[in-house]
Structure 1
Amino acid sequence: MEAERQFQEYGYNVFLSNRLPVNRTIPDTRDHRCAVKIYPKDLPSISVVLIYLNEALSVIKRAVRSIIDKTPAHLLTEIILVDDYSLNEDLQMALDEYIYLINKDKPGLIKKVRHKRQMGLAKARMSGWEAAKGQVVALLDAHIEVHKEWAEPLLARIKADRTIVLSPVFDKVRFDTLEIIKYYPSAHGFDWNLWCMYESFRPEWYKMNDPSEPGKSPSIMGILVADRQFLGEIGVLDEGITIYGGENVELALRVWLCGGSIEVVPCSKIAHIERAHKPYSPDLSKPMIRNALRVAEIWLDEYKSNVNIAWNLPQKDHGIDIGDVTERKQLREKLKCKPFKWYLENVYPLLDRWKDIMGYGVLKNDLQEGYCVDQGPVPGSEPILYECHYYDSQHCYYNSNGEIYIGQIKSHTYNSNRCLVDPGSGSTPGLHDCKQAKEKGLSIYWDFTQGNAVRNRNTSRCFEIGQGQDSYYHLILQTCTGQKWTIQHVSKDF
């Protein structure tokens, strides 16, 4: 069936998209206060860049139409289509015909930049920035529709301060029905894997009690709007970042550390199709890891080891080529950027420092090398011994105050890790929220050195493995018998 084939190819309902009007009406999802705001008359001009790879023609047409219809003509310098080497036919002739028709009516409004080979997101955005002539540049995906008055709040902010890099608020367009789901404004953050996430604004934003006001944000999701020259001065995007992921966190760190700031602007809304799958690569974790290590090497100073911990990689000799970072490090010096510690203290205090992690990765006992400590069923409060598979549920962390976390470590101070506990009675170890376990005074502190016993400081019992009546091995707590444990990676000798 054609509709199913198109869905597999594009990750959204093309069959439906082709049947919707190009200039369809979308609901105004802004806060009511946005509609009555008055913006200055003489705003800077804007170039809108749409990036795509194998996008459906009807989706690109709808994006272009919405920008033309909802951006004041005197402010819209151009729309630049950046094609990162798409292979589908209708993005050649049929798209050129559409561009020709618009340019006949509005000469030079639409420009097309086409890569000769696939170069990835960061380079596609760079190509768009290089081609742009407007005072402000908006780097957007092509599977979007802009809401009315989307540009004015952004341009007014940049007119007031050219060093602010902005994000509109995205409403979600469902990939199956193409309906628009209203999203409320929130800040953009990331974890130590450098994956992006939505997060609360700082308390001072909520104190204003006005959800139409811009809020400071530690990071940016990828769609961004900035003063074109300011973006150039601070180095646009790191072209050494390949395929997908990491380029937005890199930009965010550079903006904050090198003299700018980032804000989310609630009165600017853009509807964005949430694809069911991405076109760039079936497994995005490989480029993500490489790019995260690259960003860490350039910007994270003494905290770069946290990225290795998050991805469960050794601190040295991980064998991943992050490319040449000389030029980006020189840029950092030239711009006299602040240290990353300043960013943690002033911009993103919610990111947990992890400064006391001594060892991390899988935890194995010398009696059964093919088995690893695992967090067991969730919800549940008992760790188990399970065949080693090295995924998140088997990642353990030993820190300098003697806690052992089991299961993926949390990147933010508002989350709690789960700690290994000796309940004091019975022989089954427990796994409990560390903050709650501390408050209840449970026995969560362990003495452990690499290749030796894991002994509870309070009860003096050891965390060991033993054969049950079912002849399987289980995790147990008992009088120490000299069993030895090793943790996969060491970040500080212990």
Structure 2
Amino acid sequence: MLRGGIDWSLQFHWIEVHSKSRSSPSSDFTMPIKSPIQSGAVFAVRRDFFSWLGKYDSSIGATGVEDIDLSLRAWLCGGQVDIVPCSRVGLIQTSRKQLGVQRVPFSTYLMGAKKVAELWLDEYKRFFYAVRPSARMQPLSNLTSSRRLREKNKCGGFKWFLSSVYPQLLPLVSDEIGFGTISQQENCVDLVPGQMPLIAKVRECKDGKDSQEWSWRKKGMIVSNGMCLTSDLDTMHGFVVVQFCKDPSSQGWYRNGLKIVHQQSNFCLDSKRGDVGLIIAECVENSPTQTWYISSEVAGPPNPEHDFTFAEEKAQL
């Protein structure tokens, strides 16, 4: 038996059903099956709930992405999508030629998928852009009303959807232990363009800004656009810059509570000179300028002094 799913390109797929997907632990195959996504051609929904969700998004069009958008809205806004094996849903199949509808251009699909990614995938949208990089070049329709509806309906986050509804949709990078923005209140670690090496500063957080998206790897490197946060007390005087990832001694970091600690110096990432650039400084307990939040985090790299496996991995780099 099958249920609906997606991949990171936001393409619909039928996937095999596992026993955990059933609404009841019974082996009765007539019982409803929880489905992450449902095809719009064969579904029924209560009219009042459909209206409360905001109906179909007309700006996405008939690309197939509109079904993904509606399914995500249903799950994240308090509903559920079930496949009921013994149900009967009628569909009058009409050809595109009879309807006067032409085949949907790929660019139209990309624009719709980009809107869904920006609206619902939260920090996981980076995986969509990883497999659909050309989507970055597509225009983005206005999200104001959609975001207002999401806030009004108190919809949840995509992280919950992955953990509770669709854990089979796995992140693309297996060695990540954290990703997204690195922030303090309303400010995020950002790259300042210019001559190499690039300077790392804190700036106002902005949704979808590439230079504020970071990937923290198991070996300690914090990466953005293929470049790593780097510091050295001797050659960089404690300033934090962004260089090509090649030197684990100056580019390794570990987590200590809410602090981000430089492995080589055991100094903490600090924003107290944020107008000039980030620095590493002696760690101070409860310092607000050394307190950092990461959008999505499993567990920061351990202190290499207390983890011999990590130390061996670092030596092999």
- TM-score normalised according to structure 1 size: 0.33
- TM-score normalised according to structure 2 size: 0.50
Q: Rg larger in 1 or in 2?
A: 1
